[in-house]
Amino acid sequence: MVTFKDFRNNVKPNWCPGCGDFSVQAAIQRAAANVGIQPHDLAVISGIGCSGRISGYIHSYGFHGIHGRALPIAQGLKMANKDLHVIASGGDGDGFAIGMGHTIHSIRRNVDITYVVMDNQIYGLTKGQTSPRSAEGFKTKSTPGGAIEPSVQPLELALTSGATFVAQGFSSDIKELTAIIEAGINHKGFSFINVFSPCVTYNKVNTYDWFKEHLTKLSAVEGYDSTNREEAMKVVMETEGLVTGIIYQDENAPSYQEQVPGYAPTPLVDQNLKMSEQEFNALIQDFM
């Protein structure tokens, strides 16, 4: 039987001690083991930034691409081999600044992959500039007088973009986070998971303690119905996005692949590349 240890490799992460990303890594490893995935059937595709290094720290196939483009690489891979479990991951800069377009369109498209955003509301690797997730007034090297722009609201954004799975976790609650990622992997479609993953070096406002004080756990909200999109929007707005758990899931929505006309039921990678002479001649006839 697979355990989370099978997903550990020999590489020592270069994250700062106490970084929230360690827990995200552990949660992905545990979730993958719980679902029963073999390491070679998992591919983690990541972006650039501290968080982007995650694909190198998990014993599975890993692709560390370019800034903001983890999602299209992940979708291309899933289209090629539907038998693989594909997890895309990156930071808030990756997903909500440079890669925002891909985030929205991936949510709309609903290709069956899992997207884990490690959201620390700051740019860490470049040593402390504002992020689209930084709160208004947040002081950083690039916003010495405080951030002027309102922050991106990932959960509202996902809900209004036609998401079929929206969840949020917190690095400190690895048990809940593991369960969320597990549900995300099992979801047939695009799973959007935002994770509060504190930066202990550059974000002195949104700390572990700050989150513990402000977060509401959906599991504690009596009678919460995660299949109701209106209720989901309401809880997100009421808590100003400071809520964890599975916020919304539509288990009946077909994934992108299920709707592509003619898309093979078996992985494309297994197909014979060469067409038959008969097929070839039929294509020639179109131009005669």
Partner 1 sequence: MLQQLSWKVGGQQGEGIESTGEIFSMAMNRLGYYLYGYRHFSSRIKGGHTNNKICVRPTQVRTIPDDLDILVAFDQETIDVNYKELTEKSVVLADAKFSPVAPEDCKAPMYIVPFTEVAAELGTSLMKNMVAIGASAALLNLDKAVFQGVVDEIFGKKGQEVVEKNMQAIQQGFETMAEQLGDRLGEWEIAPADGKHRMFMIGNDAIAFGALAAGVRFMAAYPITPASEIMEYMIKKLPLFGGAVIQTEDEIAAATMAIGSNYGGVRAFTASAGPGLSLMMEAIGLSGMTEQPLVIVDTQRGGPSTGLPTKQEQSDLMQMIYGTHGEIPKVVIAPSTGEEAFYDTIQAFNIAEELQLPVIILSDLQLSLGKQTVEPFDYSKVEIRRGKLVENDEIPVAEDKSYFKRFEVTEDGISPRVLPGTEHAIHHVTGVEHDETGKPSEAATNRKAQMDKRLGKLQHINFKEPVYVNAPYEEADILFVGFNSTRGVLEELQQTFIESDIKVNHAHIRLIHPFPVEVMHSLVAKAKKVVVVENNATGQLANIIKMNVGGHDKLVSVTKYDGTPFLPLQLAKQVKELLTDGNI
- Chain positions contacting partner 1, by CB under 8 A: 8-11, 38-41, 43, 45, 55-56, 59-66, 69, 71-81, 83-84, 101-102, 104-105, 109, 257, 260-264, 266, 268-269, 271-275, 277, 279-281, 283-284, 287-288
The alpha-helical segments, DSSP class H, found in the chain are 21-35, 70-80, 92-93, 100-109, 154-160, 174-186, 208-214, 229-238, 256-259, 277-285
Structure tokens at 250: 């539509």
Nearer to partner 1, 10 or 252 (CB): 10
Secondary structure element (H or E) that encloses residue 161, with its range: none
Least distance between partner 1 and beta carbon 163 (Å)? 16
Distances, alpha carbon 209 to alpha carbons 85, 161, 172, 204, in Å:
34, 31, 10, 10
β-bridge mates for residue 90, sequence order? 117
Q: Which is nearer to partner 1, 36 or 223 (CB)?
A: 36
Least separation in angstroms between CB 280 and partner 1: 5
Question: What is the nearest approach in angstroms of partner 1 to the Cβ of residue 87?
Answer: 12
Q: Is 204 helix (H, G, I), strand (E, B) or coil?
A: coil
Nearer to partner 1, 223 or 265 (CB): 265
Q: Which is nearer to partner 1, 109 or 229 (CB)?
A: 109
Q: Which of 118, 152, 128 is nearest to 201 (CA)?
A: 128
Pairing of strands 61-64, 191-196: unpaired
- Up-side HSE of residue 8: CA atoms within 13 Å toward CB? 8
Q: Pick the closer one to partner 1 by CB: 69 or 187.
A: 69
Q: Which is nearer to partner 1, 104 or 117 (CB)?
A: 104
Q: How far apart are CA 145 and CA 50, in angstroms?
A: 25
> Residue 41 Cβ, how far from partner 1 at the closest point, in Å?
6
Q: How far is the CB of 53 from partner 1 (least distance, A)?
A: 8
State the nearest-atom distance from the C-beta of 1 to partner 1, in Å: 16
Give the chain's count of helices (H) and strands (E): 10, 8
**Nearest approach, Cβ of residue 34 and partner 1 (Å):** 20
Beta bridge partners of 61: 43
Cβ(88)–Cβ(77) under 8 Å? no
Taking alpha carbons only, the member of 11, 100, 129, 7 closest to residue 60 is: 7
The residue (of 66 and 205) whose beta carbon lies closer to partner 1 is 66
**How far apart are alpha carbons 132 and 130 in whole angstroms?**
7
Q: Which is nearer to partner 1, 68 or 245 (CB)?
A: 68
